[in-house]
């Protein structure tokens, strides 16, 4: 029997929906081992988010309201204390920037195996095995932790969001644990880009551009009209980010954000393995590239061999016309 603790990720005082992919994993493990799962709502807005989290079938939702902004040294002690008290065999969360920062620190405090960025899990003989990328995503392997507990980061593109279960879980406030390391760190502020476009990791449609757009102006005048016409989130390849065309928070790939929208449109992206690792879970992939031998053709459902500077504006106008027709 393995009990699971899900660490929820909050944003702007509410629940970030990618947390629900970790809930899906928790349900799978609990069901396969005869255990149960609980959720920890932690951070600014934890009490508010707990009401939403209570809808997803957890045995209990724990609440740890921590003011003053996020940093891992402040959150990890409380997560670890809740995990120890509940004797959880698995602690899990989304393998987002937040999860990749927080979960390894929790694992260190628990003396647990840290299994990052998993794409699948299965239960065999009472043991939980995890599938994760290795060698820059070129291969996938199954791993079995050899410690009493494991801290697991879920690749949100590989798991469906958990549906509401009906009813409401009980909630319980927990004590905030402290750590000497937290006293040496000060939260100064958060600088983030606000956009009217959908969040990249949660959008149903993503339009990404590559270095072939040639400049920041290319993104603005060529790609953005298509992004906005489709009501999409905008992404970019690492090459475009490294060239300074767009900020780093738009990067899709192994070292950026992992996405799995219903529709992914890749414009001027050759398809290096690192980029494919971040988007190949998309339901439908459309690629526009003048090189018909570009690696991205291997994963694309639709591949248009064309000059992007001509094809993309035409596509944007077509999308606008179709929307105007209703």
pLDDT number for residue 185: 84
Asked if domains 4-183 and 205-324 share a fold, the reply is yes
What pLDDT, in 10s, does the model give residues 28-40? 999 999 999 999 9
Contact between residue 252 and residue 206 where contact means Cβ atoms under 8 Å apart: yes
pLDDT number for residue 255: 81
How many residues comprise the chain?
326
Contacts of 254 (CB under 8 A, 6+ apart): 133, 136, 137, 273, 274, 275, 277, 278
Per-domain residue ranges of the chain: 4-183, 205-324
Contacts of 287 (CB under 8 A, 6+ apart): 265, 266, 269, 271, 294, 296, 297, 300, 302, 303, 304
What pLDDT, in 10s, does the model give residues 105-120? 999 999 999 999 899 9
Is 205-324 assigned to CATH 3.40.50.1220? yes
Domain 4-183: CATH superfamily is: HUPs (3.40.50.620)
pLDDT number for residue 193: 65
Whether the pLDDT of residue 238 is over 70: the answer is yes
pLDDT number for residue 68: 83
Contact between residue 185 and residue 74 where contact means Cβ atoms under 8 Å apart: yes
- Rounded to whole angstroms, the Cα distance separating 201 from 260 reads 8
- Rounded to whole angstroms, the Cα distance separating 101 from 66 reads 17
pTM: 0.80
pLDDT number for residue 11: 85
**What's the rounded mean pLDDT across residues 49-69?**
93
**What's the rounded mean pLDDT across residues 207-234?**
96
Mark out the alpha helices in 152-194 (DSSP H runs). Answer: 180-183
Burial class (CB in 10 A: 0-12, 13-18, 19+), 17: middle
pLDDT number for residue 210: 96
Whether the pLDDT of residue 195 is over 80: the answer is no
Average pLDDT of the chain to the nearest whole number: 92
pLDDT number for residue 198: 86
- Rounded to whole angstroms, the Cα distance separating 120 from 131 reads 5
**What's the rounded mean pLDDT across residues 135-150?**
87
pLDDT number for residue 167: 84
- Rounded to whole angstroms, the Cα distance separating 20 from 319 reads 32
Reported confidence tier of residue 296, pLDDT bands at 50, 70, 90: very high
Whether the pLDDT of residue 231 is over 90: the answer is yes
**What's the rounded mean pLDDT across residues 289-295?**
93
- Rounded to whole angstroms, the Cα distance separating 137 from 67 reads 37
Query: What DSSP string runs through 166-194?
Result: SS--EEEE-PPP--HHHHT----------
């Amino acid at each position: 029997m393995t009990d699971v603790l899900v660490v929820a990720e909050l944003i702007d005082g509410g629940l970030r929906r990618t947390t629900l992919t970790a809930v899906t994993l928790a349900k799978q493990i609990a069901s396969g081992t005869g255990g149960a799962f609980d959720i920890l709502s932690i951070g600014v807005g934890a009490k508010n988010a707990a009401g939403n989290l209570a809808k997803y079938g957890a045995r209990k939702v724990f609440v740890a309201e921590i003011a003053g902004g996020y940093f891992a040294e402040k959150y990890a002690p409380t997560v670890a204390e809740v995990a120890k008290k509940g004797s959880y065999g698995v602690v899990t969360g989304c393998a987002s920037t937040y999860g990749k920062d927080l979960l390894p620190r929790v694992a260190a405090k628990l003396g647990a195996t840290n299994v990052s960025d998993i794409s699948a899990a299965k239960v065999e003989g009472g043991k939980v095995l995890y599938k994760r990328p290795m060698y820059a995503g070129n291969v996938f392997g199954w791993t079995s932790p050899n410690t009493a507990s494991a801290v697991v980061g879920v690749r949100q593109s590989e798991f469906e969001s958990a549906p509401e279960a009906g009813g409401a879980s009980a909630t319980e406030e927990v004590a905030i644990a402290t750590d000497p390391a937290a006293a040496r760190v000060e939260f100064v502020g958060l600088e983030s880009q606000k956009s009217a476009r959908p969040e990249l990791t949660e959008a149903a449609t993503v339009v990404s551009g590559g270095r072939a757009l040639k400049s920041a102006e290319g993104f603005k005048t060529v790609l953005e009209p298509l992004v906005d016409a489709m009501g999409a989130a905008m992404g970019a390849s690492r090459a475009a980010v490294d060239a300074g065309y767009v900020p780093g928070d738009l990067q899709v790939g192994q070292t950026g954000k992992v996405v799995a929208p219903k529709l992914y449109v890749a414009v001027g992206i050759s398809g290096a393995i690192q980029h494919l690792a971040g988007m190949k879970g998309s339901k439908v992939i459309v690629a526009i590239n003048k090189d018909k031998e570009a690696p991205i053709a291997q994963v694309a459902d639709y591949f248009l061999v064309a000059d992007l500077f001509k094809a993309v504006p035409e596509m944007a106008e077509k999308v606008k016309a179709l929307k105007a027709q209703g």
